[in-house]
Amino acid sequence: MLSVMSTRDEEIYRSCAGELTRYATGLVGPFDAPDVVTDAFLKASGSSRWDQVDNHRAYLYRTVLTVAMDHHRSSRARRAREQRAAVPAVAHQPEIDYEILDVVERLSVKQRAAVMLTYWSDLPADEVGRLMGVSEGTVKRHLDRARKRLKEWLS
Amino acid sequence: MSSNDERKMRELAERLAAMSPDAPPFPEETTVTSPSKQTSTLRPLTVFAGAALIVLLGLGIPLIIMNSGEAPVGTDTTTTTIAGTSTTAPETTTTSETPDTTVTTTPTTSYGSVLYLTQDPENSFLGNPAIIALETVVALEDGADDLDVLRATINMLGNPDLVVPEAFSNSVPEGVEALVIRRADGTDNALIIEMNEAFLDGAGGLLADFTMLNQLIYTATQLPDIEEVQFIVNNEQVTQFGSEGLDLSASVNRETFQNELNIIYLTSPILPNADGNIVVEGNSNTYEATMHARVLDPEGNIVHEELGTATSGSGEWGEYLFVLDPDHFEDGSSVQLLWYSPEDGSASNVITIPYNGGQPWDFLSGS
């Protein structure tokens, strides 16, 4: 059937699209972040559970992580092609920090999520775990592993 | 952790966030929603991805290939089990000889896991297959968690490259895939597994459907704290599965379809314990709970046989455990599990499991 996104959905989207895009930037980089956010919102709002969800923001955070993980796995070849064939962007694009992209490449997507939510969003581990769909202990493990991966850069 | 580490981690997050582009516009195009709730829409930002890079390429700025898996030069391999023992190896960053191209590889770790294949028993009245637990490894990016390992293991079952050893079978059709696995909200012991649509078709026939489900359920519940799983597809409960339209809207566990299995099966891989003895354990439902384990030499001759008693039998499922002397084993040995029919004394519901010397099976290369 044909349907149109509701006004409520649009309000939900507009209230958190910015923070989700920053979060997604930490997970997949600035070039793919808008795609991941769009895909995540369509996936979440197309779910039959969407209308029963109490906390849409938390639900969208989880969906962004899920989409980012799949995107991360499936997009390597496509990304390489796009990088070879891309055209100049028309949207606003902040300066690309290649050093930090190189650094974050050492982390898994879940480790990036834990880092972004802990250090950018300033959330405690239990809240990070809630947004990632994992336990507080798992969040701490992800952060610990991330620090080990970044040992050289941190020193 | 030092305050310097804290500061640098915060700097990392802030520098990442600082690169964030504008939020994409609200996807207000009319969407087409199928009856199965799948939503599709135009993706106006597809071209956006990577768009700025061409400019940078033109300027000769070094290109970073994020997570390139095409040239895994110098990838390190370590081994970790789900149970948690691990060894670590140095992480590797490889810079190619091309001066303007940096390829960063992610270290790979081999994680121990258990795959559940099946075997058709000999001399079985019902002909239900047995579940057979086999130790294997999956290679994943270092830092993968237990659910990542579980997903990779489940996806081996539907992997077209899976090589099933001659002694076993696999009822999971090619292409069946777990897309997402997460812990169910509000419980400590349940998983929600989002499968792809190929899952819904089942395995072609009711018994094959049950066997497929048992393989997936047993593989998914191998984590010590997980007792049940719920399968979903397209974010919806599965109410029509396989050839008979089984309703899988409720959670399922190892007991749900247990009666569709051979009355003797193997729940844990056959492995040596700390004392070097070979441990064989599983579930059974035999007459008076009695059953036998045999060790066969490579030619199939019985070199050892012993009687065991499960915790239950005669209509109730129980657990059995054999601890076998390693002196009975040699390269190419097998373990045979059976019970003797009280009617005619014949060995019944016999399953034969090749012993792999305590080494994991490599199902993707056939060794």
Residue B4 placed within a domain? no
- B273 and B233 within one domain: no
Closest-CA distance, A71 to chain B, in angstroms, reads 11
Q: Are the beta carbons of A32 and B50 separated by less than 8 Å? A: yes
Chain A residue numbers with beta carbons less than 8 Å from the beta carbon of B47 are 87
Do B256 and B316 sit in the same domain of this protein? no
Asked if the structure places residue B107 within a domain, the reply is: no
> Which of B13, B30, B45 is the closest to A34 by Cβ?
B45
**Residue showing tokens 């008076």:** B288
Angstroms from A57 CA to nearest CA on chain B: 15
Reported confidence tier of residue B56, pLDDT bands at 50, 70, 90? very low
Cβ proximity of A139 and A129 under 8 Å: yes
- B17 versus B143: which is more confidently predicted? B17
Distance of CA B343 to the CA centre of its chain: 40
Residues of B in contact with A93 (CB under 8 A): 21, 51-52
Rounded percentage of chain B residues whose pLDDT exceeds 70: 77
Above pLDDT 90, what percent of chain B?
56
**CATH of the domain spanning A1-91:** 1.10.1740
CB < 8 Å to A55, chain B: none
The answer to whether the Cβ–Cβ distance between A2 and B62 falls below 8 Å is no
pLDDT over threshold 80, residue A92: no
Q: Residues B160, B217: one domain?
A: yes
What's the half-sphere exposure (Cβ side, CA atoms, 13 Å) at B106? 25
- The average confidence (pLDDT) of chain B is 80
Mutate to test the interface with A, among B12, B63, B142 (most CBs of A within 10 A): B12
Question: Which residues of chain A have a CB within 8 Å of the CB of B181?
Answer: none
pLDDT of residue A7: 83
Residues B297 and B198 in one domain: no
Residue B274 sits in the same domain as residue B195: no
Average of pLDDT values for A1-15?
A: 74
Long-range own/partner contacts, residues B246-254 (CB < 8 A, 24 or more apart)? B246/B202, B246/B209, B246/B213, B248/B213, B251/B184, B251/B190, B252/B213, B252/B217, B252/B228, B253/B217, B253/B221, B253/B227, B253/B228, B253/B229, B254/B217, B254/B218, B254/B221, B254/B227
B256 and B272: one domain?
no
Chain A hits for B15, Cβ within 8 Å: 97, 100
The answer to whether residues B228 and B282 belong to one domain is no
CATH topology of domain A97-155: Arc Repressor Mutant, subunit A (1.10.10)
Tell me how close the Cα of A124 comes to any Cα of chain B, in angstroms.
Answer: 14
Which of B21, B63, B142 comes nearest A91 by C-beta? B21
Which of A81, A83, A98, A148 is the best substitution to test chain B (most B C-beta atoms within 10 A)?
A83
Considering chain A, what percentage of its residues have pLDDT values greater than 90?
25
Contact state of A20 with B23 under an 8 Å Cβ cutoff: yes
CATH classification at residue B313: 2.60.40.4070
Q: Which residues of B touch A84 (CB under 8 A)?
A: 57
* pLDDT on residue B214: 97
- pLDDT tier, A5 (very low <50, low <70, confident <90, very high otherwise): low
pLDDT of residue B187: 80
Residues B292 and B328 in one domain: yes
Record: contact B33-A1, CB cut-off 8 A: yes
pLDDT in tens, B316-336: 999 999 999 999 998 899 999
**Residue position matching structure tokens 């094959």:** B208
Q: Render pLDDT for B99-142 as a digit per residue (tens, 0 to 9).
A: 444 445 566 788 899 999 999 999 998 889 999 999 999 989 87
pLDDT of A139: 84
pLDDT at position B183 is 92
Residue in chain B lying closest to A12 (CA)? B26
Could A104 and B52 be called an inter-chain contact, meaning their C-beta atoms sit closer than 8 Å? no
Side-chain-facing half-sphere of A43: CA atoms under 13 Å: 21
| Nearest alpha-carbon partner for B105 in B78, B150, B142 | B142
How many inter-chain contacts (A to B, CB under 8 Å) are there? 247
Q: What is the pLDDT of residues A32-71, one digit of tens each?
A: 899 899 988 988 887 767 887 888 898 899 889 878 876 6
How confident is the model at residue A52, as a pLDDT?
78
Question: What are B163-210's pLDDT values in tens digits?
Answer: 999 899 999 999 999 999 999 987 879 999 999 999 999 998 889 999
pLDDT score at B27: 83
Domain boundary among B260, B290, B305: B260
Q: Are residues B215 and B335 in the same domain?
A: no
ipTM of the complex: 0.85
Query: Would you state the pLDDT for residue A148?
Result: 85
pLDDT classification of B366: cutoffs 50, 70, 90: low
Using the beta-carbon criterion (under 8 Å), do B50 and A134 form an inter-chain contact? no
Report pLDDT for A95. 83
Of A4 and A68, which is predicted with more confidence? A68
pLDDT tier, B306 (very low <50, low <70, confident <90, very high otherwise):
very high
Q: How confident is residue A8, by pLDDT bands cut at 50, 70 and 90?
A: confident
- Could you tell me if residue B117 is inside a domain? no
User: What's the pLDDT score for residue B152?
Assistant: 95
pLDDT tens across B204-226, in order?
888 999 999 999 999 999 998 89
Indicate whether B209 and B295 sit together in one domain. Answer: no
Whole-number Å distance between alpha carbons of A95 and A102 = 15
Q: Are residues B163 and B205 in the same domain?
A: yes
